Amino acid sequence: MSENSVKAQGSGNGGGEEPRIGVFICHCGGNISDVVDVHRVAEEIGRLPFVVFSTTHTFVCSDPGQALIEQKIKELNLNRVIVAACSPTLHELTFRRTLARAGLNQYLFEHTNIREQVSWVVADHELATQKATRLIRAAVARVRDLVPLQKRRIPIHPSALVIGGGVAGLTAARDLADRGFAVTVIESAPFLGGRMAQLDRLYPTGQRARELLKPLVDEVVRHPRITIHTNAELLQATGFIGDFRTTVRLHPRGVDASLRNAGAVMAVCPEEAPDPFNYGLTKRKAIYLPYEGCYPPYPAIDWKACTKCGKCVEAAGKAGIDLEGQPTDIEIQSGVILMAVGLDLYEPRRGEYGYREHPEVVTLAQLNRLLDADGPTGGKLVLNGRPIRNVGFIHCVGSLQHKGIHPPMPDGRINDYCSRICCTTTLRAATELKERFPELNIYDFHEDIRTYGRGHEAYYDRASQQGVVFVRFDPLRPPRVEHDPRGEAPLVVKTVDRLTLGEEVEVPIDLLVLATGLVARDMAKLVDLYRCSVGSDRFLLEVHPKLRPVELAAFGLFLAGSVQGPMDTVESTAAAAAAASKAAALIAQAHVELDPFIAKVTEEKCSGCRICLYVCPYDAISRDDAKKVAVVNEALCTGCGTCVATCPCNAIIQFGFGDTQVKSEILALLGRQPAAAEAA
Amino acid sequence: MTQVGTQTQQPGPGRTTWEPRIIGFLCYWCSYTGADSAGTARMQYPPNVDIIKVMCSGRIDPELITTAFANGADGVMVLGCHIGDCHYISGNHKTMVRMPLMRRLLAELGLEPERFRHEWVSAAEGEKFSKLVGEMTEQVRALGPLNWPRLLHERGVGHGMDLKAWGE
């Protein structure tokens, strides 16, 4: 709960005083003043009522510019400040701080955009000057109704919940725990490690993924401040920044650490199911370990495959296995939450480049399992016992899709984005194939190659030197995969090569590898529980890609890794570390201060109709049944103002965007006198 | 009508011709940033649309739109984030439902539908923004000035608002 509520101090007139407005118009070193006659604007604005000072400055954001604002606030007793300059996204905060330094409430400020939205887009000097005048006039009308506001101050429980036990979640958990905060990691699978555990060698260093993962897992599981729950399912969530309460259902694992003879127990299990760890290339038992060295180090039971025949219980000597375990629900309290659920691999449609029609067509992930020395073939390149001479790779399967060429995904959208990792992963695999099997012919069919990261281009150079044949196809005419009519090889790939100026090529292929893209996981539950913003690519959406890249718009939620978009392991760990550090900075303050532009219910006007309860995207409004009025939870409100527009009684106001303020702005823009100010 | 409309303008020296006055309500996270990106790319567009920033298009109360029309706006634009990209999850879903209703309401009041436009503009769509402003300015210009109080007066509607047409 908030300690200090947002207070509108004084009357609607700002502390009860008559407005004394100071206007500072920026030349922006000519960016504005070359087009807008700033001196004329300053003069016209200076004649408006309540404007006691109006001037121009070469760079208002510079130290002398800010010093001038401070000086004039003190000298002329200004109680409202307007800066007309660039976009508020750039310098609104700068000037709020200037006001605060001069001892004026920082919210008695208005930033008018006369650069991006006037001088840079209107060439005519006269029209631009008029437009700038109109906008500043509207700002003058608007600030008259500003009231001093205080930031909301909300205490933070010194703990974090990390959702997802892959490399991003583990990295974030370790970093946060190292900073002294209690961390809970929940993982839906029975084992930690996520996607990274399934990888073989990683670019750009060529190290083995599980060897890199192992020390991280060890660090996390031994950390005194980290609690881990596997087989965990998100059930419910309440609360808000500082005090989230998440209910998690822990499904029974069926096996505990007291099991001694795991190998023998797994051997007697009669049930088999496709092994998702090997992307369906092999089968596994219903009681299984995904790989050597996993954590927890004892098996888990795949309840979908298990028939509860009891053979494993007997083999275990009735110790360590319980087939009748029931799920338990626990509540986890946390100050912040980090989303680290990762992503999924695109599953090609049946028949897409012959996938699931020809056994010779595999995905890149499957190939990486085949290349893995610990993989299903022990690292041997074998397919149906046939020797392999020609390997083909097709890029951008499920990525960079084009409308009309690729059928839409189940939700009707197409994956028009680049999955980023597949080019380098493909070329890394190609170079490894060439090194280990120099007699192979490798053909790389691409519409584009994006080896964008540090060290990535080296794989392209290496592959070129090793004689990998690159064929560039037209994205609007993707290659066709057919049975080789000559019988030279099982398949033939037909396409038009743009690198040889449109030559038609037919390449016999023994093994065709589809470089499948990355897609967002089904996060409906997560999105619903925590009110996450989702981008049009279905990945979670940050507040701003540059200014707040690892935060969600709902307060106290952070994005750790590839939940946000396609990332490789390098980027995922970097994003997770960034999320951990942002989260730690927040927790360390013990309190958070939030902007005060939230909604507030005027109780006398509220009819208690509940309409606002249903429109609030954050469930921030509840109804006080005793008083029969709506109540806004200040910690949950993000200040979108949807309820304000919805309220049939005009009982809800939004600080900074009150009806009176916006209406004054409209009237001033249209050259009409604003009505007498009511309380905004 | 033209004469009345002229009085609501603030023509500069030597300019007496009527220019459409359009109010644009833009959500901060997508459309306002989209307008900024049009500026950063130095796209030129007519100066007739004056922008009012709101945090979310869900904040745009129909009353604000009628306030604009009732006080001399010749046109109103409402721009928000694309569906699925709302900073506030679903604020724009309310806009999506409200604005078609608003258009019908305005039509009931005798307003030409071209005076009101509701579109989605993302933060990256500076070009779309500048194109929309150009189109809107021209379509409102083609209609000529709107005198809302007189319009209501002629149609015999209005409740308690000042029904005097401007300049009378």
Look at residue A284 in the predicted model and tell me its pLDDT: 94
Look at residue A473 in the predicted model and tell me its pLDDT: 96
Tell me the CA distances in angstroms from A621 to A52, A152, B61, one per residue in order: 41, 17, 19
Is residue A16 one of the residues assigned to a domain?
no
Partner-chain residue, chosen from A121, A531, A666, that has the shortest CB–CB distance to B64: A666
Residue A42 contacts by C-beta under 8 Å, 6 or more apart in sequence? A23, A25, A54, A55, A56
The model's confidence at residue A348, banded by pLDDT at 50, 70 and 90, is: very high
Give ∠ CA A488-A494-A497 in degrees, rounded to 5.
125
What is the Cα–Cα distance from B95 to B82, expressed in whole angstroms? 11
What is the Cα–Cα distance from A578 to A458, expressed in whole angstroms? 27
**Do A553 and B15 make contact, defined as CB atoms within 8 angstroms?**
no
Is residue A15 one of the residues assigned to a domain?
no
What is the Cα–Cα distance from B164 to B148, expressed in whole angstroms? 10
- Domain boundary, last residue among A540, A565, A588: A588
Which of B126, B125, B107 shows the shortest CA–CA distance to B116? Answer: B107
For residue range A465-505, list pLDDT tens digits in order: 999 999 999 998 999 999 988 888 899 999 999 999 899 99
Does A277 lie in the same domain as A383? Answer: no
CB pairs under 8 A between A and B: 153
Nearest CA in chain B to A131: B47
Which of A635, A638, A365 shows the shortest CA–CA distance to A517? Answer: A365
Does A372 lie in the same domain as A458? Answer: yes
Does A135 lie in the same domain as A54? Answer: yes
Look at residue B13 in the predicted model and tell me its pLDDT: 46
Does A396 lie in the same domain as A295? Answer: no
Residue A574 contacts by C-beta under 8 Å, 6 or more apart in sequence? none
For residue range A571-611, list pLDDT tens digits in order: 999 999 999 999 999 999 999 888 899 999 999 999 999 99
Nearest CA in chain A to B41: A120
Does A210 lie in the same domain as A272? Answer: no
Does A469 lie in the same domain as A367? Answer: yes
Does A336 lie in the same domain as A290? Answer: no
- Domain boundary, last residue among A493, A519, A545: A519
* HEC secondary structure over A415-472: CCCCCCCHHHHHHHHHHHHHHHCCCCEEEEEECCCCCCCCCHHHHHHHHHHCCCEEEE
Minimal Cα–Cα distance from A534 to chain B, Å?
Answer: 6
What is the Cα–Cα distance from A22 to A78, expressed in whole angstroms? 6
Look at residue A96 in the predicted model and tell me its pLDDT: 96
For residue range A419-447, list pLDDT tens digits in order: 999 999 999 999 999 999 999 999 999 99
Which of A608, A595, A674, A676 shows the shortest CA–CA distance to A641? Answer: A595
pLDDT exceeds 80 at position A251: yes
What is the arithmetic mean of pLDDT over A454-466?
96
Is residue B152 one of the residues assigned to a domain?
no
**Do A671 and B61 make contact, defined as CB atoms within 8 angstroms?**
no
Does A333 lie in the same domain as A208? Answer: yes
User: Which residues of chain B fall below pLDDT 50?
Assistant: 1-15, 160, 163, 165-168
For residue range A130-149, list pLDDT tens digits in order: 999 999 999 999 999 899 99
pLDDT exceeds 80 at position A568: yes
Is residue B49 one of the residues assigned to a domain?
yes
- ipTM (interface predicted TM): 0.88
Is residue A524 one of the residues assigned to a domain?
no
Determine which of A246-250, A670-674, B12-16 has the lowest per-residue pLDDT on average. B12-16
Look at residue B16 in the predicted model and tell me its pLDDT: 59
What is the Cα–Cα distance from A621 to A306, expressed in whole angstroms? 46
Tell me the CA distances in angstroms from A509 to A491, A516, A517, one per residue in order: 5, 18, 22
Is residue A31 one of the residues assigned to a domain?
yes
Range of the domain at B78: 19-145
What is the Cα–Cα distance from A651 to A649, expressed in whole angstroms? 5
Look at residue A71 in the predicted model and tell me its pLDDT: 97
For residue range B64-96, list pLDDT tens digits in order: 999 999 899 999 999 999 987 788 888 999 999
Residue listed under structure tokens 């954001």: A61
Q: What percent of chain A has pLDDT over 90?
A: 83
For residue range A351-381, list pLDDT tens digits in order: 999 999 999 999 999 999 999 988 888 888 8
Does A474 lie in the same domain as A361? Answer: yes
Tell me whether B160 touches chain A (CB under 8 Å). Answer: no
The model's confidence at residue A676, banded by pLDDT at 50, 70 and 90, is: very low
Look at residue A595 in the predicted model and tell me its pLDDT: 87
For residue range A198-237, list pLDDT tens digits in order: 999 999 999 999 999 999 999 999 999 999 999 999 999 9
CB hemisphere CA count around A623 (13 angstroms): 12
| H-helix or E-strand spanning residue A664 | helix A659-669
Look at residue B159 in the predicted model and tell me its pLDDT: 52
Is residue B83 one of the residues assigned to a domain?
yes
Tell me whether B143 touches chain A (CB under 8 Å). Answer: no
> For chain A, what is the domain count?
5
* pTM higher than the cut 0.95: no
Give A118's DSSP letter. I
> Do the strands A511-516 and A361-363 form a parallel or antiparallel pair, or are they unpaired?
parallel
| Residues in chain B within 8 Å Cβ distance of A131 | 47, 50
The model's confidence at residue A16, banded by pLDDT at 50, 70 and 90, is: low
Look at residue A1 in the predicted model and tell me its pLDDT: 36
Rounded to the nearest integer, the mean pLDDT of chain A is: 92
Does A169 lie in the same domain as A132? Answer: no
Nearest CA in chain B to A665: B52
Range of the domain at A244: 159-251+328-342+529-588
Does A504 lie in the same domain as A379? Answer: yes
pLDDT exceeds 50 at position A12: no
What is the arithmetic mean of pLDDT over A49-59?
96
Q: Which structure tokens are listed for A80? A: 């409202």
What is the arithmetic mean of pLDDT over A634-659?
93
End-to-end CA distance of chain A: 25
Partner-chain residue, chosen from A644, A669, A671, that has the shortest CB–CB distance to B61: A644
| H-helix or E-strand spanning residue A76 | helix A63-76
Q: Are A442 and A391 in contact (CB under 8 A)?
A: yes
What is the arithmetic mean of pLDDT over A238-247?
92
**Do A657 and B54 make contact, defined as CB atoms within 8 angstroms?**
yes
What is the arithmetic mean of pLDDT over A163-184?
98
Residue type, A254: G
Is residue A554 one of the residues assigned to a domain?
yes
Q: Give SS3 for A671.
A: coil
Residue A534 backbone phi and psi in degrees, to 5: -120, 135
Strands (E), A48-143: 51-57, 80-85, 109-113
What is the Cα–Cα distance from A202 to A200, expressed in whole angstroms? 7
What is the Cα–Cα distance from A93 to A100, expressed in whole angstroms? 10
Strands (E), A527-569: 557-559
Look at residue A195 in the predicted model and tell me its pLDDT: 95
Q: Give SS3 for B30.
A: helix
